[in-house]
Amino acid sequence: MAKRRPAVSPSSPCPCGLDATYGDCCGSLHQARTTATTAEQLMRSRYTAFVVRDAPYLLRSWHSSMRPADLQLDQDLRWTGLEILNTTNGSPFHIEGTVEFRAGYELDGRPGHQQENSRFAREDGAWVYVDAQGRSATS
C-alpha cells in the first residue's frame, strides 16, 4: 500500500522552520510562483520538498550536471526538523554558496539526523543544489 504525502496545507506552518505558512514560504517555490533569492532559501525549500515528498521539485532544483534521472523518496522516513548551522556566500549577489545544516528524522520509530554542507550555484540565473561536501547520518 502506498503511503500518503504528509498533511501539509498552504496554511500550515512551513516545515522549513521560518515563521511563515507553507503556502507563503516553500510552497510558493514548489509551485514555481517564486524563485529562491538565496542559497539558504533554496536549501530550506529542498528540505521541505523532502518533508512533503515533492520529488519533481527536488529534481528541478538540482544542478543539471549532477541531477539524477529519477528520485525515489523513502516513504518510511519522516523528517522532523531543520537547523541551519552555517552559510557562506549564497546571497542575491553571489553565484555560489554553501549551507551547512542538520535535519532530524524518524525511521522505524527511531530518531536520527543527517548533517551536511551543501553546495549551491546559479544555473541560468536560478539557485540550484550542486552536491554535498560532507555528509553524516546517525540514528
Q: Which domains occur in the chain, in start order? A: 26-138 (3.10.450.50)
Tell me the CA end-to-end span of the chain in Å, nearest whole number: 26
Q: Which triple of cell numbers denotes residue 52? A: 512533503
pTM: 0.93
Residues 67-78 have pLDDT tens digits of: 999 999 999 999
The pLDDT of residue 92 is: 96
| Burial class of residue 18 (count of CB atoms within 10 Å of its CB; 0-12, 13-18, 19+) | middle
Give 71-126 as a DSSP string.
----TTEEEEEEEEEEEEE-STT-SEEEEEEEEEEEETTEEEEEEEEEEEEEETTE
- Bridge partner residues of 119 (DSSP): 98, 131
- Rounded Cα distance, 44 and 71, in Å: 18
Tell me: pLDDT of 134 over 80.
no
At residue 4 the predicted structure's pLDDT band, cuts being 50, 70 and 90, is: low
Residues 83-125 have pLDDT tens digits of: 999 999 999 999 999 999 999 999 999 999 999 999 999 999 9
Run of H or E residues at 132: strand 126-138
Neighbours of 99 (CB within 10 A): 26
The pLDDT of residue 7 is: 80
The pLDDT of residue 1 is: 40
